[in-house]
């Protein structure tokens, strides 16, 4: 039950439903009656019912959607009538003057629908000239000039005659005068199309101006009715290219252009592209494009062109896949479109520039797909874009604007297509277009570039390329004049800089051209240096490591380059300077580690001044430690690395090595916390045992006395820890260290030392501890250590100089 509003009337929607329901029930009743009469072979009565039924289509009250539903219901029922008549004729029971009979239907709508139905029967039974009937029918429909009703009537005509058109070539023997040929079919459809288009356009002018939007919507709903004519034309097999060129296309375009209606033009121009084959478009480009230029100013010509270019580009790609040339060489497709786009830009100065750029985007797509080797075409597009941007005289294009988005799309295309920085650098206008974007735009493109390079592992191999690429990446490398400096999330910034850092490893000259690699690194260093204190912690370390790698490479091919030692020196100086820059940027822990790495790297590459350089690096590390590292945890971590690195440095003379070792020991004793001191001293003890000097020529120092001194100091410090648990833990660690050196043959360490320590833990410290997880851990550690000792004691080694564990007291 429809609900009633206050005023007692129903809403328009409910109105429509009610009207449609009422009409459909009439149709149902009349159709039933019609079929009953046909069963009884009472044709006249049946026609009367049919006429009444068709009368419902005379309404002006239904919306196009509802009218469509009514129309479909009635068409279904008319099928019965058609089948009955066909049956009568085919069984020899021709109905005399059927044509005249149906003319007695009162109103024109029922009359014309019935005439079409009968006409179809005549055609199917070859009663009269197919050609003549078709011509009559298409002319007769002019009788209905109401847009909606006329459209549906002509649609009925088109659907009924779907397979009945004389689709035969003119010279086909079956194409008699009476039957007709493809020209007649074309004429039929073209006339129907013109009339339908006129009706469709007329709909725009019906009713109040305030209903304009609704009318536009309704017109859109009906577009397929008009478009079907074009589909029919495309389905005619006998239309050859010549006919299409001379008759079909010009006919359609004439109607499209002359109707001067933007909605119709936009739809129909795209329809033409979609329904007719691509080969034929290639042959008729000029004609089609000329029509484009004549379209109404409200038509989005760029959308149409983009659709056309897209279609032809896809065609070109398919042709290539089949081994054919993508576009027939006699058709300069790219130039045609390039010129056309220029024409349109001139003819429509008010067209928003983003539409122009979207056309450039489709041009580049065409170039990629149909002319893949012609890189210059892509650059041409970029050049035209630049010219267009000049015309609108805007300084920097806003990234968020429609134009900005299109430009972004444009620039990303060559990046993603070529996946090659080198190819990109061959497009001179790429960088120029890039510069027209605002900061956000340039940064977005730069990020896309970097990600693309990293994903495809595209290496940069010369210094010129390095400079050019880093120029394009400027927004990521240093602060830009048009950049807003606040507000970026620290994590986002770190992510970006990490990308740049990763990119540095793509700087790789040819394997044999080490000098080029050096030039690339120094050139990059200059650019990255401009990034300031915020960025160099990310960007300098990778450069430093690439430099370390390069030094080693020079060493590996030293036979071939007599200047290699000087070059290595230069490289290490370069690294030193980079690390110093990090220190200036107020970092401490990172440069300390890099200095240590540098010392180790230099020690392994044996050239003239490498010992001096290594010494310089390591003393810088120690200086940093003393001057800049004050946090206890950081100190212990740093000192661990310093001692461990020193243990591995084999290039120092005793003269250089001794002071550094002593310094380590001093710093160990100077740590704030006792446990840290103890453990640091243990670490330092290794410096007197396994490290080496130049004089020792790789043999370990084995200064057992000094080792024991360190360990005794460590033990003393351990006993100064008040907490028995901490003390116990430290002493168990110490036990293992004593055993370690004892086992390696340190003769200053005796079984007594070890027994003392074990006894200290067992007798003195453990009893002081309450049962806890901590105690359990220490006991387990001690237990495992004693297990090991027991095994060594009870299974003495057979080698002559192995230390004897006899006398170890474990219980």
Partner 1 sequence: MQLVLVLGDLHIPNRCNALPAKFKKLLVPGRIHHILCTGNLCSKETLDYLKTLASDVHIVRGDFDKISSTYPEQKVVTVGQFKIGLVHGHQIVPWGDPESLASLQRQLGVDILITGHTHKFEAYEHDGKFFINPGSATGAYNPINKFVIPSFVLMDIQSSTVVTYVYQLVDDEVKVERIEYKKN
Q: Which residues pair with 437 in a beta bridge?
A: 397
Q: Least CB distance from residue 668 to partner 1, whole Å? A: 12
Which string of x and - marks every residue 504-543 that binds partner 1 (by CB under 8 A)? xxx-------------------------------x--xx-
Q: How far apart are CA 556 and CA 324, in angstroms?
A: 51
**Residue 589 binds to partner 1 (criterion: CB under 8 A):** yes
Tell me the two tokens of residue 682.
Answer: 């243990």
Site for partner 1 in 453-472 (CB under 8 A): 454, 457
Residue of the chain from 202, 417, 448, 502 that contacts partner 1 (CB under 8 A): 502
Q: Answer for the pair 225, 155: CB distance below 8 angstroms, yes or no.
A: yes
**Residue 473 binds to partner 1 (criterion: CB under 8 A):** no
**Residue 714 binds to partner 1 (criterion: CB under 8 A):** no
Q: Least CB distance from residue 722 to partner 1, whole Å? A: 22
Tell me the two tokens of residue 100.
Answer: 């005249």
Whichever of 130 and 706 has its CB closer to partner 1, that residue is: 706
Site for partner 1 in 604-663 (CB under 8 A): 604, 631, 633-634, 637, 640-641, 643-644, 647-648
Tell me the two tokens of residue 267.
Answer: 């739809």
Q: How far apart are CA 51 and CA 68, in angstroms?
A: 18
Whichever of 121 and 643 has its CB closer to partner 1, that residue is: 643
Residue of the chain from 255, 597, 620, 692 that contacts partner 1 (CB under 8 A): 597
Q: Least CB distance from residue 399 to partner 1, whole Å? A: 24
In the 8-state DSSP scheme, what is residue 764? Answer: I
Range 314-321, long-range pairs (CB < 8 A, 24+ positions): 314/278, 314/369, 315/278, 315/279, 315/282, 316/366, 316/369, 316/370, 317/369, 317/370, 320/369, 320/370
Whichever of 641 and 749 has its CB closer to partner 1, that residue is: 641
Please work out the total of residues on this chain that contact partner 1, with binding judged by CB under 8 A: 53
In the 8-state DSSP scheme, what is residue 244? Answer: I
Site for partner 1 in 285-324 (CB under 8 A): none
Whichever of 254 and 495 has its CB closer to partner 1, that residue is: 495
Contact range with partner 1 by CB under 8 A, out of 252-260, 401-409, 594-602, 750-758: 594-602
Q: Answer for the pair 269, 292: CB distance below 8 angstroms, yes or no.
A: yes
Q: Where are the alpha helices (DSSP H) in 371-438?
A: 375-392, 402-418, 421-424, 428-435
**Residue 593 binds to partner 1 (criterion: CB under 8 A):** yes
Site for partner 1 in 38-57 (CB under 8 A): none
Q: Least CB distance from residue 687 to partner 1, whole Å? A: 9
Residue of the chain from 343, 690, 719, 755 that contacts partner 1 (CB under 8 A): 690
From the number of C-beta atoms within 10 Å of its C-beta (0-12, 13-18, 19+), residue 213 rates as exposed
Task: State in Å, rounded, how far the first CA of the chain is from the last one.
Answer: 101
**What beta strand segments (E) does 563-653 contain?**
none
Q: Least CB distance from residue 542 to partner 1, whole Å? A: 5
**Residue 784 binds to partner 1 (criterion: CB under 8 A):** yes
For CA atoms 224, 225, 228, 230, give the dihedral sign.
Answer: negative
Q: Least CB distance from residue 418 to partner 1, whole Å? A: 20
Whichever of 170 and 627 has its CB closer to partner 1, that residue is: 627
**Residue 774 binds to partner 1 (criterion: CB under 8 A):** no
Q: Least CB distance from residue 457 to partner 1, whole Å? A: 8
Q: Least CB distance from residue 597 to partner 1, whole Å? A: 6
In the 8-state DSSP scheme, what is residue 460? Answer: B
Whichever of 410 and 665 has its CB closer to partner 1, that residue is: 665
Q: Answer for the pair 490, 547: CB distance below 8 angstroms, yes or no.
A: no
Tell me the two tokens of residue 224.
Answer: 């397929």
Q: Where are the alpha helices (DSSP H) in 419-513?
A: 421-424, 428-435, 439-456, 463-472, 474-477, 490-504
- In terms of Cα–Cα distance, which of 174, 223, 191, 282 is closest to 64? 223
Tell me the two tokens of residue 341.
Answer: 């786009």
Tell me the two tokens of residue 75.
Answer: 């068409």
**Residue 790 binds to partner 1 (criterion: CB under 8 A):** no
Neighbours of 185 (CB within 10 A): 25
Neighbours of 169 (CB within 10 A): 16
Q: Least CB distance from residue 640 to partner 1, whole Å? A: 6
Site for partner 1 in 718-737 (CB under 8 A): 732-733, 736-737
- Residue 397, classed as helix, strand or coil, is strand
Whichever of 34 and 665 has its CB closer to partner 1, that residue is: 665
DSSP states along 339-370: HHHHHHHHH-TTS-HHHHHHHHHHHHHHHHHH
Whichever of 502 and 748 has its CB closer to partner 1, that residue is: 502
Q: Least CB distance from residue 505 to partner 1, whole Å? A: 4
Residue of the chain from 780, 794, 804, 807 that contacts partner 1 (CB under 8 A): 780
Q: How far apart are CA 738 and CA 732, in angstroms?
A: 10
Q: Answer for the pair 509, 466: CB distance below 8 angstroms, yes or no.
A: no
Q: Least CB distance from residue 243 to partner 1, whole Å? A: 56
Tell me the two tokens of residue 459.
Answer: 């290496």
Which string of x and - marks every residue 545-584 that binds partner 1 (by CB under 8 A)? x--xx--x--------------------------------
Contact range with partner 1 by CB under 8 A, out of 97-105, 358-366, 718-726, 777-785: 777-785
Whichever of 389 and 453 has its CB closer to partner 1, that residue is: 453
What H or E segment, with its residue span, contains residue 78?
helix 64-90
In the 8-state DSSP scheme, what is residue 8? Answer: S
Residue of the chain from 401, 419, 522, 744 that contacts partner 1 (CB under 8 A): 744
Q: Least CB distance from residue 459 to partner 1, whole Å? A: 11
Q: What angle do CA 433, 420, 504 make, to 5 degrees?
A: 95
Q: Least CB distance from residue 781 to partner 1, whole Å? A: 5
Q: Least CB distance from residue 410 to partner 1, whole Å? A: 28
The residues of the shown chain that bind partner 1, judged by CB under 8 A, are 454, 457, 491, 494-495, 498-499, 501-506, 538, 541-542, 545, 548-549, 552, 589, 593, 597, 600-601, 603-604, 631, 633-634, 637, 640-641, 643-644, 647-648, 683, 686, 690, 732-733, 736-737, 740, 743-744, 777, 780-781, 784-785, 788
């Amino acid at each position: 039950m429809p609900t009633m509003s206050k005023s007692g009337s129903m809403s328009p929607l409910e109105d429509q439903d009610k009207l449609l329901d009422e009409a459909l029930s009439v149709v149902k009743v009349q159709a039933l009656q019609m079929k009953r009469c046909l069963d009884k072979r009472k044709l006249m009565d049946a026609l009367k019912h049919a006429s009444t039924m068709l009368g419902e289509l005379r309404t002006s009250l239904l919306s196009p959607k509802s009218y469509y539903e009514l129309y479909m219901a009635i068409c279904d029922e008319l099928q019965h009538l058609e089948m009955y008549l066909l049956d009568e004729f085919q069984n020899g029971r021709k109905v005399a003057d059927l044509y005249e009979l149906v003319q007695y239907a009162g109103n024109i709508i029922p009359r014309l629908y019935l005439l079409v139905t009968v006409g179809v029967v005549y055609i199917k039974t070859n009663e009269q000239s197919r050609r003549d009937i078709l011509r009559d029918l298409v002319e007769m429909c002019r009788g209905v000039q109401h847009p909606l009703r006329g459209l549906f009537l002509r649609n009925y005509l088109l659907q009924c005659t779907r397979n009945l058109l004389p689709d035969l070539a003119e010279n086909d023997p079956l194409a008699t005068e009476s039957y007709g040929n493809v020209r007649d079919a074309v004429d039929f459809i073209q006339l129907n199309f013109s009339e339908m288009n006129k009706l469709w356009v007329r709909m725009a002018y019906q009713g109040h101006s305030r209903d304009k939007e609704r009318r536009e919507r309704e017109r859109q709903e009906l577009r397929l009715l008009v478009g079907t004519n074009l589909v029919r034309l495309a389905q005619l097999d006998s239309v050859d290219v010549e006919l299409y060129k001379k008759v079909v296309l010009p006919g359609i375009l004439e109607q499209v252009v002359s109707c001067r209606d933007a909605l119709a033009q936009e739809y129909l121009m795209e329809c033409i592209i979609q329904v007719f084959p691509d080969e034929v478009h290639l042959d008729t480009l000029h004609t089609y494009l000329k029509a484009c230029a004549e379209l109404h100013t409200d038509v989005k010509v760029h959308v149409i062109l983009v659709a056309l270019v897209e279609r032809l580009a896809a065609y070109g790609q398919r042709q290539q896949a089949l081994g054919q040339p993508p576009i027939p060489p006699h058709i300069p497709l790219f130039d045609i479109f390039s010129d056309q786009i220029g024409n349109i830009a001139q003819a429509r100065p008010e067209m928003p520039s983003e539409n122009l750029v979207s056309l450039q985007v489709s041009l580049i797509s065409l170039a990629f797909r149909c002319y893949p080797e012609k890189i210059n075409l892509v650059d041409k597009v970029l050049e035209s874009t630049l010219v267009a941007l000049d015309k609108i005289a805007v300084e920097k294009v806003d990234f968020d604007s429609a134009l900005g988005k299109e430009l972004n799309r444009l620039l990303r295309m060559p990046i993603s297509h070529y996946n090659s920085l080198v190819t990109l650098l061959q497009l001179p206008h790429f960088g120029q277009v890039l510069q027209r974007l605002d900061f956000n735009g340039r940064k977005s493109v730069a990020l896309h570039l970097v990600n693309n390079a990293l994903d495809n592992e595209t290496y940069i191999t010369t210094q010129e390329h390095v400079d050019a690429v880093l120029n394009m990446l400027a927004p990521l490398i240093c602060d830009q004049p048009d950049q807003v400096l606040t507000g970026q999330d620290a994590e986002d910034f770190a992510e970006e800089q990490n990308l740049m850092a990763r990119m540095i490893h793509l700087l790789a000259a040819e394997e044999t051209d080490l000098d080029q690699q050096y030039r690339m690194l120094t050139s990059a260093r200059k650019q990255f240096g401009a990034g300031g204190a915020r960025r160099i912690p990310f960007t300098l370390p990778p450069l430093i490591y690439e430099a370390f790698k390069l030094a080693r490479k020079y060493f590996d091919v030293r036979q071939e380059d007599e200047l290699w030692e000087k070059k290595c020196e230069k490289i290490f100086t370069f690294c030193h300077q980079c690390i110093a820059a990090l220190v200036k940027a107020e970092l401490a822990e990172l440069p300390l580690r890099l200095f240590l790495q540098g010392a180790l790297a230099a020690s392994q590459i044996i050239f003239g001044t490498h010992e001096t350089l290594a010494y310089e690096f390591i003393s810088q590390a120690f200086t940093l430690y003393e001057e800049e590292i004050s946090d206890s945890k950081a100190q212990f971590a740093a000192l661990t690395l310093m001692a461990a690195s020193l243990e591995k440095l084999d290039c120092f003379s005793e003269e250089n090595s001794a002071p550094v070792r002593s310094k380590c020991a001093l710093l160990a004793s100077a740590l704030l916390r006792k446990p840290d001191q103890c453990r640091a001293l243990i670490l330092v003890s290794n410096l007197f045992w396994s490290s080496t000097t130049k004089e020792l020529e790789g043999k370990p120092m084995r200064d057992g006395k000094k080792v024991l001194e360190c360990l005794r100091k460590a033990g003393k410090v351990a006993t100064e820890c008040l907490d028995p648990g901490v003390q116990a833990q430290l002493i168990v660690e110490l036990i293992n260290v004593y055993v370690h050196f004892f086992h390696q043959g340190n003769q200053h360490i005796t079984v007594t030392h070890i027994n003392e320590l074990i006894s200290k833990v067992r007798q003195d410290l453990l009893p002081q501890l309450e049962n806890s997880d901590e105690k359990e851990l220490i006991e387990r550690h001690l237990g495992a250590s004693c297990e090991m000792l027991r095994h060594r004691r009870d299974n003495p080694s057979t080698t002559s100089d192995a230390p004897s564990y006899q006398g170890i007291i474990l219980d």
